[in-house]
A and B are shown apart, each in its own frame.
Chain A
Amino acid sequence: MASEPAAENIGYREIEAVIDPSHDYESVTEKISRISLTPTLPKSLYIVAGISLVLIGLLFTSVFWLVVRGTGIWGLNVPVAWGFAIINFVWWIGIGHAGTLISAILYLFRQEWRTTINRFAEAMTIFAVMCAGLFPLLHIGRPWLFYWLLPYPNVMQMWPQFRSPLMWDVFAVSTYFTVSLLFWFTGLIPDFATLRDRAKSKIARIGYGMASMGWRGSARHWQRYEIVYLLLAGLSTPLVISVHSVVSLDFAVSSIPGWHTTIFPPYFVAGAIYSGFAMVLTLAIPVRSLFGLKDLITLNHLDNMSKVMLATGLMVLYGYGMEAFFAWYSGNEYERYMMWNRMTGPYWWGYWALILCNGVIPQLLWLKKVRISPIPLLIISIIINIGMWLERFEIVVTSLHRDFLPSSWDMYIPTFWDWSIYIGTLGFFFFLMVLFIKFLPIISQFEVRELLHKKKHGHH
């Protein structure tokens, strides 16, 4: 071990470690289980749940009205046939990506700090993908015929168009949801068993007992469990890249200026991880202070997540740069006009707001002080979430609303129903998050115990 003062100098002891070393196995288990086993929640979460419930009501009302009247109640028109539905779909699914990155890729990279945030991020992934999936279903106009998207033998002799990335989306997103759910649930099993053993009320014991699927924590269980977890991490890894790449192809395979450009797949993936980490921070910062988890989700975590945001944010900025450069360099007048219109046309405010939110303000993350200050970080991550939404708005709307023929140009103005469904899904998401915080262990207990073991007894 290097001498302590040296370590001090290079910044490794400047902030807390990934876990407070004063913890022992019992104290972490107690601390985390207590959240799920206490019958009440902090007052502020009841307020969040109440508001979310109202928004869910709004969501159901809007969906009902949409089914009755059809997608005409949205602000869609020709040429802007893809509006909020696609914007929100891409936004939500992008947010999900951080969970998979944290739980799968960081696991394979042996990044120990992921241990206290992975459960949380995985839950966020699943809820975000649920919100995302709602939009294409509603956008098809007749949601009750959604199964037409699936290739099944039918009397109509109809098959889906396999050459369309929209078709690939069906498979990509459903695979993503299934694998994420399995990964999440598998991770939860030992913790369900812990809760089962600690619960005082009979109902809780039965509920957690069923969910733990007979887990007894024998050495044989653990040995197999570790292998299964590693395999699931390996299987989830390609999904981090593939899902948003397919989403980007929805746009890029067309010949529409603003959509058709070869940088799209990696640029979309970077943007997804960027927005996902922003959402993890948006949720984690309030939760760690609400439940006194600052010794488990430490400043070290905030620092690391900020660095990931800074790196992916720079990649996204590189993407904006390439888009702008090639709009000019291509020499294609439609490409050039699209970019010019994006920057100075009727939606100019959106473009520059997105540059401000995604490109300029996050540069504050270069400063270590900002990376370890929860409140500024919370504000920056909310700004990034807004910026990433604006990015999808700009990509979808400004590429379409003035197309090749000036006679068919039109403006896209979202209606009340566009907004209500979007805000409704926000309520849905936050309500599920509150349920998750109430009933499930929000930090993976057994992985934290394992981390403690490693920290105290060295690696094996």
Chain B
Amino acid sequence: MDNARQELAGWKKVAGIAAVIGILGSIAGYVMNHEQFSRSYIMAYDYWLGLGLGGLGWLMIIHLTSGRWGLVIQRPMEAAARTMPLLLVLFIPVVIGMHDLYEWTHKDVVAEDHLLQFKQPYLNTPGFLIRAAIYFGIWIVLAYALSRLSRKQDETGDADITRRLRVISAPGLVLFGLSATFASFDWLMSLEPHWFSSIYGALFMVGHGLGALAFIGIVTHVLARRKPLEGVITPQQFHDVGNLTFAFVILWTYMSFGQFLIIWSANLYEETMWYLDRRYGGWLIVSIILFILHFVVPFILLLMRNNKRISGRLVKIGLLILVVRYVDVYWQVAPTFREHAASLHWMDAATFLGVGGLWVLAFLRQLGQAAVLPKNDPRHTEFVKGGASH
């Protein structure tokens, strides 16, 4: 373990404690009320899945664009992507809880619902499971293929690997986009099986891409305090990461508001019902909080140059984004089951800690397996050796 990662040792303890408390709480919750457990669990799962998926997506974008900002966050992104096998295991409770989550798994409901009968060729249990297997297959293969190649380059210094990383990433990103889109339809949009929105998949990817960027920004800030990253990462790299965060805050808002405006204007009940659920029973306040904290506040803060260049400040904005990402997940999922009143349940916290603790432990373990900074990448040799000359 090099110096940089010692800074993260404290995280391990916290994550371990959170995992123990969370898992115990989740087991107790499942025994007491499995319906409530599943409905809390899907939110926790969606949130942490987002960090892993976002990591994978960014990793491929980094290989394709080969910017300097990408070099310093590449290894943390790889570590996030390599949590995919854990996320596959953590998907099991979703499968067990399918009946509590998805109305379309209820034979009696479907028998009386014309629309659900119509959608059965897509919304059915075997299809759901087969598709999930395909998604995880794609994600795990991509994450491991890319990170293994990059680690191999650390050892062998084979310059051709840089080209091969690009060759995998370009079609990889296409597969990723399709699989993440349909995963969001299966696991989240079908919670309300009558409702649909064609931008849902894109919005899912952008939201989680933002969360992953904020998380990795924080990790990088911590790593940058010591060798080997100390002195290699300059304010310019944080500035670039900050600008990307800014762009994704705007992109998320653009897509969310676009979806709202289009549905509001046409005013068709088959679509507006989703927003109506988010308007009454206290949900309006959550919606307004989401708008202010997911857009207005980070937008204003990230407009300012120093907030992006001074990494300590960027970390605080990142923390805000990580918190408000949960608000977004909660706002997307919870109104389906709590349409009468916005409320929190203790199992929301228990499942969040359980899944999150395990995920962070896995992330730290993966981060510890490879050098914090990729070596031998011909595009960056000058930069890494020369340190902060720019």
| B270 contacts the other chain (CB 8 A) | yes
Interface: B280 (CB within 8 A): no
Closest to B185 in A: A329
Q: Which residues of A contact B261 (CB under 8 A)?
A: 249, 253
Contacts of A9 in B (CB 8 A): 159-160, 163, 378
State whether the Cβ of A415 lies closer than 8 Å to any Cβ in chain B.
no
- Residues from chain B with Cβ under 8 Å of A322 in the complex: 181, 198-199, 201
Q: Contacts A262-B199, A266-B202; is A253 near B163 (CB within 8 Å)?
A: no
Interface string of A307-333 (1 = CB under 8 A from B): 000000010001000110110011110
What separation, in Å, do the CA atoms of A341 and B178 have in the docked complex? 25
Q: Would you call A329 and B266 a contact (CB within 8 A)?
A: no
Chain A residues near B163 (CB, 8 Å)? 9-11
Q: Contact check, B262 vs A6: say whether CB atoms are below 8 A apart.
A: no
Tell me which residues across on chain B come within 8 A of A326, comparing CB atoms.
Answer: 196, 198
**Contact B258 A245, beta carbon cutoff 8 Å:** yes
Q: Verify A252–B122 contact, CB threshold 8 A.
A: no
CA distance A261 to B181 in the complex (A): 16
For chain A, give the interface size range: 20 to 34
A263 within 8 A of partner (CB): yes
Docked CA distance A332–B181 (Å): 21
Q: Is A2 an interface residue (CB 8 A)?
A: yes
Which residues of the other chain, A, contact B160 by a CB distance below 8 angstroms? 9-10
User: How many angstroms between the C-alpha atoms of A317 and B194 in the bound complex?
Assistant: 25
CB distance from B162 to the nearest CB of A (A): 5
Q: Choose one: A2, A266, A323, A332; the contact of B381 (CB below 8 Å).
A: A2
What B residues does A449 contact at CB under 8 A? none
Query: Are A323 and B198 within 8 A (Cβ)?
Result: yes
A7 part of interface (Cβ distance < 8 Å) = yes
Question: Is the beta-carbon distance between A261 and B159 smaller than 8 angstroms?
Answer: no
Chain B CB within 8 A of A1 CB: yes
Q: Is the CB of A266 within 8 A of B196?
A: no
User: When chains A and B are docked, how far (Å) is the Cα of A263 from the Cα of B259?
Assistant: 8
- Min CB–CB distance B184 → chain A (angstroms): 12
How many Å lie between the Cα of A264 and that of B270 in the bound state? 18
Interface residue A31 (Cβ < 8 Å from any Cβ of B): no
A265 at the interface (CB under 8 A from B): yes
Tell yes or no: A241 within 8 A of B by CB: yes
A254 at the interface (CB under 8 A from B): yes
With A6-B378, A322-B201, A329-B196 already in contact, the answer to whether A266 and B159 are too (CB < 8 A) is: no
Query: Considering only CB atoms, which chain A residue lies closest to B161 in the complex?
Result: A10
Interface residue B156 (Cβ < 8 Å from any Cβ of A): no
A427 to chain B, nearest CB (A): 36
A69 in the interface (beta carbon within 8 A): no
CB distance from B95 to the nearest CB of A (A): 22
User: How long is the Cα–Cα vector from A314 to B159 in the complex, in angstroms?
Assistant: 29
Q: Which residues of chain A are near B259, meaning CB under 8 Å?
A: 262
Would you list which residues of chain B between 69 and 112 have a CB under 8 Å from chain A?
none
Instruction: Decide if A262 touches B379 in the complex (CB within 8 Å).
Output: no
| A-facing residues in B280-321 (Cβ within 8 Å) | none
CB under 8 Å from chain A, chain B span 247-266: 254-255, 258-259, 261-263, 265-266
Collect the chain B residues with CB atoms within 8 Å of residue A253's CB. Answer: 261-262, 265-266
Smallest CB–CB gap between B192 and chain A, Å?
A: 13
Q: Type the 1/0 row for A327-347, where 1 means its CB is closer than 8 Å to any CB of B.
A: 001111000000000000000
Contact of A202 with B by CB under 8 A? no
The distance in angstroms between the C-alpha atoms of A22 and B365, with both chains bound, is: 51
Residues on the A chain within 8 Å of B115, using CB: 331
Q: Are B266 and A254 in contact (CB under 8 A)?
A: yes
Residues of chain B with a CB closer than 8 A to A266's CB: 199, 202, 254-255, 258
What's the nearest-Cβ distance from chain B to residue A264, in Å? 7
Shortest beta-carbon distance from A190 to chain B in Å: 27
A6 closest partner in B (C-beta) = B159
Among B199, B268, B270, contact of A263 (Cβ-Cβ < 8 Å): B199
Which chain B residues border A264 with CB–CB below 8 Å?
258, 262
- A220 interfacial by beta-carbon distance below 8 Å: no
A255 interfacial contact with B, CB 8 Å: yes
Bound-state CA distance A329–B262 (Å) is: 18
CB within 8 Å of A: which B164-208 residues = 170, 174, 177-178, 181, 185, 194, 196-202
- Complex contacts, A6 vs chain B, CB 8 Å: 159, 378
For the complex, what is the distance from the CA of A11 to the CA of B159, rounded to whole Å?
Answer: 10
- Residues of B near A323 (CB, < 8 A) are 198
Q: Which residues of A contact B178 (CB under 8 A)?
A: 318
Question: Is B268 touching A255 in the complex (CB atoms < 8 A)?
Answer: yes
Residues of B within 8 A of A2 (CB): 159, 378-379, 381-382
Does the CB pair A332–B270 fall under 8 Å? yes
- Please tell me which one of the listed residues B159, B185, B262, B382 contacts residue A262 in the complex, with CB atoms under 8 A apart: B262
A260–B254 touching, CB < 8 Å? no
Chain A positions within 8 Å of B118 at CB level: 331
Q: Which residue of B lies closest to A254 (CB)?
A: B266
Asked if A459 CB lies within 8 Å of chain B CBs, one says yes
| Alpha-carbon gap, A249 to B267, bound state (A) | 14
Instruction: Decide yes or no whether B345 CB sits under 8 A from chain A.
Output: no
Q: Decide: B262 and A260 in contact? CB cutoff 8 A.
A: yes
| A10 / chain B contacts, CB cutoff of 8 Å | 159-160, 162-163, 378-379
- Give the chain A neighbours of B267 by CB distance below 8 A: 255
B119 at the A/B interface (Cβ < 8 Å)?
A: yes
Within 8 Å CB of B262, what residues of A? 249, 252-253, 260-262, 264-265
Q: Which residue of chain B has the shortest Cβ distance to A252 in the bound complex?
A: B262
Kindly list chain B residues whose C-beta atoms are within 8 Å of the C-beta of A265.
254-255, 258, 262
Considering only CB atoms, which chain A residue lies closest to B264 in the complex? A253
User: B266 is contacted by which of A260, A325, A331 (Cβ under 8 Å)?
Assistant: A260
Alpha-carbon separation in the docked complex, A69 to B222 (Å): 72
- Shortest Cβ distance from B157 into A: residue: A6
A135 to B197, CA, bound (A): 31
Given A10-B159, A10-B163, A254-B266, decide whether A261 and B378 contact each other with a Cβ distance below 8 A: no
* Residues of chain B at the chain A interface (Cβ within 8 Å): 115, 118-119, 122, 159-160, 162-163, 170, 174, 177-178, 181, 185, 194, 196-202, 254-255, 258-259, 261-263, 265-268, 270, 378-379, 381-382, 390
Counting from the closest, the 5 A-B pairs by CB-CB distance are A253-B265, A6-B159, A2-B378, A263-B198, A262-B199
14 sampled A-B residue pairs with Cβ under 8 A: A2-B381, A9-B378, A10-B159, A245-B258, A253-B265, A255-B267, A255-B268, A262-B258, A263-B199, A264-B262, A314-B174, A330-B196, A331-B118, A331-B194
Q: What residues of chain A have their CB less than 8 Å away from a CB belonging to chain B?
A: 1-2, 6-7, 9-12, 241, 245, 249, 252-255, 260-266, 314, 318, 322-323, 325-326, 329-332, 366, 459
In the complex, given contacts A263-B202, A326-B196, A366-B170, what are 13 additional A-B residue pairs having Cβ atoms less than 8 angstroms apart? A6-B159, A7-B159, A10-B378, A253-B265, A262-B200, A263-B198, A265-B254, A329-B119, A330-B196, A330-B270, A331-B119, A331-B194, A332-B270
